[in-house]
Amino acid sequence: MRNAIPLGLMLALALLPAPPAAAQGADQQVAGLLQQGQQAYEQYLDIGSAQNYIDQAIRLVQQYGVTGNNAALAYALRGVIHVWMGEESQAVEMFKQALTNNPNVVIPAAWGGPDIDEAIEKARRQLPPAVTYPPPVTCPGGAYPLPNGQCPPVYTPPTTCPGGAYPLPNGQCPPVYAPPTCPGGVAPLPNGQCPPAYVPPTCPGGVAPLPNGQCPPATPAVPLTRHTPVTEQLWNHPVPIYLEVNPSITIGGVYLFYKSPSDIGYQRVEMSRSGPGYYVEIGCTMLQPSAWDYYITVLDPQGNTLASEGAPDRPFHINMVQVLSPGALYPTRPDGSVVNDCGPDGTGAGQECPPGFPNCRGVACDRTCTFNDDCLASEICMAGCCKTPGDDGGGGGGGGSGEGIGLFFTVGAGLGVGLASGQAKEPKWATNVDGSSVYGPDDMYSAYDPVNFPHTGRQVVDIATGFALSGGAVRIGFGYFIIPELSLSANFRLAFPFDADFPWLVEGRLHYWFLSGPDHLFGAFAGGGAGLMTHMIQKVQFLQDNTLCGGTCDPVAKSYEPFYKVSGLGAIAFGADYIYKFNQLFGLGGELGMNVMVPEFAFNIDITLQMLLYF
């Protein structure tokens, strides 16, 4: 009888349940499969592979009874995929399973969204409310409370045994039971032996193995963005541009930069979110070019560049063609639809022809135009029609390139202003006895005694240095392009209003054209010549000396408002011109012309609008 109690106690301890090693190994496999599923979507946008990994994880959870956070995350990620596929009821059931395993389960940021949060809350509302029981009375030593709810008196054995064991009837402590210790803290089997340790295979990069024990094939690294360049599009059509961006990065903005080959700089437009990527169209324009250049830049929230497709010096090139090349596919939107055309003249369907399009809708032309860019690369714009050089009215002299060599004529009108200084010299304003005009009576000259008091001078008044109008200006020029970048010309300047002295200027110029493209001319010039320049001084007054007039000078003073100050005779010229060429014969633009007049100093600036004609 004395040996019955310890033997029964040892048998009971040996038969206590312990977590099986297979369940623990399955939990690790579930975690590995979830990691692979997240990598498949977040790094490679492969939703199909992500779903496969997550479905395998759920089968392991159900087969081995895995619970806890890994089981909750597996059901939650499968619910997210159901939401993406529009399967709301299946998604709610998966989220209920996830909340049952872990009410605080957390969805990864790349998988979340407002629609995901709404589905989780719907599942949470469908779960039965938790039953709240009053906390039980806890009695010392694990004793059960009495029917009156009070704890029984604590029995304190006379002898304290190790591990809290009760002493035997003889007052001695029972022998301490020491179960075998297995590696990794795994519980021993009922036969007292340790189960074999589970050693999962090790895969490169820490990737979890597949359920069959083999490592998954290595996936090649992909860039942050994915873009298929557009190389051809039908002329007079919008160009759809699409870019995929890895969802693991935080985006501040995605921008498309595009221009035609004749443009000086790129235009920028922000791309809009479309599915897992970003989309925008190079839209219809009234003046359709024959090609587009473009590149795309991805920025972070601070405005720093994260990734780019193409570059300003290495853009993608799109040829706008009448017929796509054999085998070429139509550029499409993200949903696979094809963009509609812009109308035969660059406008939307049903719109009237814009001004400057003679013979609209192909009445007398195959294609109407205003600029060279409206035509094909082999054509130029002549008299509102696209023509091939060599056709009637379409050939000669540099064609559509705008880089011809030959004569040209310019005429412009504008306003002049300058810096004047020095002295104002008195005009002949007084009337002599013989009816002629002379300087004032006190200028060493007497109108009453011209023999004894001959004229020997004129009054001079100092004027302050300052800016003054030189009036309206007309400039006419004739020149010759020696080469497309260099020209010589003669320029004539006429000004108004003017006084007795007529302002005129003739100068020679040497032009260097920095930009001489198909549609633009921009250059600087320098030269010199001769002429007179007048500036309108607000007011100049000449005072008369009555003592020389015998007290009879009339008037006492002579005032001029304004006074036309004359400068010259030599002139130094320099400035800049810009011309926009509508075709190879005609252009409009502006000029900033400057002159330094010597020896009577003045500095003048003319700002004029001018027209250019080629011969």
High-pLDDT (> 70) share of the chain, %:
76
pLDDT of residue 13: 43
404 against 156, higher pLDDT: 156
Distances (CA, A) of 333 to 111, 238, 295: 25, 11, 18
Q: How many residues does the chain have?
A: 615
C-alpha dihedral (154, 155, 157, 160), degrees to nearest 10: -30
How large is the average pLDDT for residues 349-361? Answer: 40
CB 574 within 8 A of CB 524: yes
pLDDT of residue 507: 95
Question: Would the pLDDT of 145 be above 70?
Answer: yes
pLDDT of residue 9: 47
How many of the other CB atoms lie within 10 Å of CB of 177? 13
Q: Which of 536, 592, 590, 529 is nearest to 565 (CA)?
A: 536
Question: Would the pLDDT of 574 be above 90?
Answer: yes
63 against 433, higher pLDDT: 63
Question: CA-to-CA distance for 521 and 112, rounded, in angstroms?
Answer: 55
User: What's the DSSP call for residue 391?
Assistant: B
Query: Could you tell me how many helices (H) and strands (E) the chain has, helices first?
Result: 6, 24
Dump the DSSP string for 270-338.
Answer: EPEEETTEEEEEE---SS--SEEEEEEEEE-TTS-EEEEESBTTB-EEEEEESSPPTTPPPPB-TTSPB
Using pLDDT thresholds of 50, 70 and 90, give the confidence band for residue 19: low
Q: Reduced to 3 DSSP states, what percent helix, strand and coil does the chain have, rounded to the nearest 5?
A: 20, 35, 45
Instruction: Respond yes or no on whether the N-terminal peptide bond of residue 152 is cis (omega within 30° of 0).
Output: no
How large is the average pLDDT for residues 185-212? Answer: 79
The verdict on pTM exceeding 0.75 is no
Q: Which of 401, 285, 292, 379 is nearest to 341 (CA)?
A: 285
Using pLDDT thresholds of 50, 70 and 90, give the confidence band for residue 356: very low
Mean pLDDT of the chain: 78
79 and 44, same structural domain? Answer: yes
User: Kind and range of the H or E element at 65?
Assistant: none
* Predicted confidence (pLDDT) per residue in 460-514, tens digit: 777 878 888 888 899 999 999 888 788 999 999 998 876 667 888 999 999 998 8
235 and 86, same structural domain? Answer: no
pLDDT of residue 298: 94
433 and 310, same structural domain? Answer: no
Residue 526 located in a structural domain = yes
Question: CA-to-CA distance for 155 and 279, rounded, in angstroms?
Answer: 79
User: Kind and range of the H or E element at 233?
Assistant: strand 232-234
Determine the 3-state secondary structure of 71 from DSSP.
helix
Lowest-confidence segment of 44-48, 255-259, 277-281, 413-417 by average pLDDT: 44-48
CA atoms within 13 A on the CB side of 145: 9
479 and 385, same structural domain? Answer: no
Domain end point (choices 126, 160, 182): 126
* Predicted confidence (pLDDT) per residue in 441-450, tens digit: 655 544 445 5
In 383-427 the beta strands, taken as DSSP E runs, fall at: 385-387, 407-425
How large is the average pLDDT for residues 153-173? Answer: 75
374 and 307, same structural domain? Answer: no
372 and 270, same structural domain? Answer: no
548 and 476, same structural domain? Answer: yes
578 and 480, same structural domain? Answer: yes
* Predicted confidence (pLDDT) per residue in 313-324, tens digit: 999 999 999 888
Residue 332 located in a structural domain = no
Domain end point (choices 98, 126, 154): 126
184 against 409, higher pLDDT: 409
* Predicted confidence (pLDDT) per residue in 237-249, tens digit: 899 999 999 888 8
* CATH number (domain holding residue 417): 2.40.160.20
* CATH number (domain holding residue 255): 2.60.40.10
Lowest-confidence segment of 22-36, 151-165, 404-418 by average pLDDT: 151-165
pLDDT of residue 134: 66
286 and 384, same structural domain? Answer: no
* Predicted confidence (pLDDT) per residue in 516-569, tens digit: 556 788 899 999 999 988 888 877 777 665 555 555 555 667 777 778 888 888
C-alpha dihedral (464, 465, 469, 473), degrees to nearest 10: 130
Residue 176 located in a structural domain = no
CB 587 within 8 A of CB 521: yes
Domain count, the chain: 4
- Which domain covers residue 547, as residue numbers? 407-614
427 and 384, same structural domain? Answer: no
How large is the average pLDDT for residues 369-382? Answer: 61
* Predicted confidence (pLDDT) per residue in 94-143, tens digit: 988 889 898 888 889 888 888 888 889 888 888 887 666 667 778 877 77
* Predicted confidence (pLDDT) per residue in 276-292, tens digit: 889 999 888 777 888 99
* Predicted confidence (pLDDT) per residue in 407-438, tens digit: 999 999 999 998 888 777 777 776 666 667 77
Residue 253 located in a structural domain = yes
pLDDT of residue 427: 79
601 and 515, same structural domain? Answer: yes
Question: CA-to-CA distance for 291 and 104, rounded, in angstroms?
Answer: 56
How large is the average pLDDT for residues 595-600? Answer: 90
Determine the 3-state secondary structure of 250 from DSSP.
coil
Residue 239 located in a structural domain = yes
Residue 400 located in a structural domain = no
Domain end point (choices 374, 395, 416): 395
Question: Would the pLDDT of 157 be above 80?
Answer: no
CB 527 within 8 A of CB 475: no
505 and 366, same structural domain? Answer: no
* CATH number (domain holding residue 112): 1.25.40
Residue 187 located in a structural domain = no
Residue 471 located in a structural domain = yes
Using pLDDT thresholds of 50, 70 and 90, give the confidence band for residue 339: confident
Lowest-confidence segment of 3-7, 371-375, 410-414 by average pLDDT: 3-7
